[in-house]
Amino acid sequence: MNRLIDQFKETHPGVRISYHGTPASGYYNATQIKHDLTTTIAGALVLVLVFLLVCFRRWSAIPLLLLPVAFGTLFGLAMMYWLKGEFSLLALGIGGVVLGVALSYVLHVLTHHQYVSDGEALLREQVKPVLLGCLTTIGSFSALIFIETDLLRDFGLFAAFAILGTTLFSLIYLPQMLSSKADGFPRFIDRINNYPFDQKKPLLYVIGLLAVVSVGAFIVGGTHFDADMHNLGYDHPEVLHSEELLRSKTYTGDKTKYFASQGRTMEEALAGFGTLSRKLDSLAQLGLVKSYTPTGQIFVPLSEQQQRIDKWKRYWNDERLQQVRRLITETAPAAGLEAGAFEPFFEAATADYAPDALYETGLIPAGYQSTLMERSYDGTYLCFTSVRCQNDSVRSSESDYIRICDAIAKEPALLVLDTYYYTTDTLLAMSRDFDRLQWLSMGFVLLVLLVSFRFNLRHTLLAFMPILLSWLIVLGAMNLAGQQFNLISIIISTFIFGIGVDYSIFVMQGLTGGQLGYHKTAVLLSAITLLVTVGSMLLAVHPAIRSVGFSTLVGLLSAIILSYVVQPVIYEKMTHEVRRRRHR
């Protein structure tokens, strides 16, 4: 269509052709997503691979990084096949974010190998933190399994299996593929790791202030969820122009929405339309509905036709017909009319009538009739009407449109022909469930950490601190920036939680095991990889991709700074306090 329009413009430069609709919106959304992926995210991945190549100093590091992740992805898909037999492609697309968590485990093994060439020693030092990170991350993703939305259940299952497969490959097969030589890392990596962040008090004060402000913003403002799926779509300028042009040429400021009654037969659907008409009439009296298509006046149900016939016959009984005939005979001559001229009336009054289905007669053109009624793919019959109402914000639960939909959706035989209306309710319920399950996941992680650190409460709370605090900072930062959670960002928040768990565990393991430098290097490489990739999403044009960027970037930065800078400071203070008490 665009190609034909461009050809027409060459000969008619003064004419502008516009169009809009669901196919147009779908095309431009897909085109924009493809453009964003091939420019911003693909470019970021190239930079990440170059950076990792510089750090590991050999080409073989790249396939060794990608192979466990590829195995984990295939393992997740295979498990989904055996468990369910089918899988949401959207869940698979969203599941791509878990590869960042999975890559973190691979980086830890490869990074440790750069310092320790002995495979057995590498495993002895890496099995516990990697398995602990895997277990806690799977626990956080598993919370999604208990949500009623199929999309999130699929995503949770796939994420859990993909991470499990990547972890097992990294610990079982990857060490056997590594060389016996430890090459180390470039000097700039060691310089960053050795930089005394814990001695920079101004930096610590700034981090503390930002954390307090963000947490305070969360406590005051709470969390907000945008359930309007329209805000996740990309609106192309040409589509917007066409919609606005049509709106300006029809009903200024109004919008048209569609509703329907349904039934096992067309007669049931028409009978239900009577209920719909009464609802719309009541809403019109309240000023919510401006007008609607009176389909029920065009297609009258057979039962109602029979009632009208019976009423007609009861009215025109023999006594009334004789009275009318006598009055005509007496008065017609005076008016210059012949009494016999009224015989067609008496024939009509005494004729036998039978109900007739207008929709089966073929009197109404098929193209027009299909806009009023149809048979659905599942055998259900639908009877439509278009409703004109005020063009207010669909996002508000108090809008006229939402109030109309709420009133109609209460009736089982009536339908709101707007997927966004039903999606909004589902997403709001999902948001409430997710918020509750997120805290349950934190409880699970806290319990696992407590057992892992042999019920050492100090170490457990110190490892848990970055996880909890980074999540609260994300919630507060969303309030400060005027951002709201949506379907995409609320799923990605699970990813933030999972990566925060990993960073905290690995740094804590380094603090207690005396190998902090090794673990900080792996955390640094993982952080740079994820920050570049996620940061590139902020440059995307499509709202769904861009919405991932802000919350994820804030969450990652919080988790990195709290684990990399604050956690060692607090551990050092705790250790110093313990030593001081012992000396007493």
* CA distances to 38, 210, 478 from 471, in Å: 30, 14, 11
What pLDDT, on the 0 to 100 scale, is given for residue 490?
66
Residues 6 or more apart whose CB falls under 8 angstroms from that of 224 comprise 478, 479, 484, 485
Q: Give the pairing type, strands 254-263 and 381-390.
A: antiparallel
pLDDT tens for each residue of 41-54: 778 778 888 888 88
What pLDDT, on the 0 to 100 scale, is given for residue 393?
47
The band of 383, judged by pLDDT with boundaries at 50, 70 and 90, is very high
| Residue 376 predicted with pLDDT over 60 | yes
Amino acid (one-letter) located at 407: A
Q: Determine phi and psi for 104, rounding to 5 degrees.
A: -60, -40
Q: Kindly compute the dihedral angle of the four CA atoms of residues 64, 66, 72, 75, in this order, to the nearest 10 degrees.
A: -90
* Average pLDDT over all residues of the chain: 81
pLDDT tens for each residue of 70-126: 899 899 889 988 988 877 665 665 566 666 677 778 888 888 888 777 778 888 888
Owner of token pair 């016939």: 309
Amino acid (one-letter) located at 423: T
The band of 58, judged by pLDDT with boundaries at 50, 70 and 90, is confident
| Residue 307 predicted with pLDDT over 90 | yes
Quote the pTM value: 0.68
Q: Which residues pair with 197 in a beta bridge?
A: none
What pLDDT, on the 0 to 100 scale, is given for residue 228?
67
pLDDT tens for each residue of 442-471: 787 788 788 877 888 888 888 888 877 887
If DSSP states are collapsed to H, E and C, what string results for 391-446?
Answer: CCCCCCCCCHHHHHHHHHHCCCCEEECCHHHHHHHHHHHHHHHHHHHHHHHHHHHH
Comparing CA positions, the residue from 497, 495, 503, 540 lying closest to residue 522 is 503
Q: Give the pairing type, strands 289-292 and 254-263.
A: unpaired
| Residue 309 predicted with pLDDT over 90 | yes
Residue 190 or residue 342, greater confidence = 342
What pLDDT, on the 0 to 100 scale, is given for residue 261?
92
Amino acid (one-letter) located at 316: W
| Residue 314 predicted with pLDDT over 90 | yes
Amino acid (one-letter) located at 112: H
Comparing CA positions, the residue from 196, 26, 50, 136 lying closest to residue 503 is 136
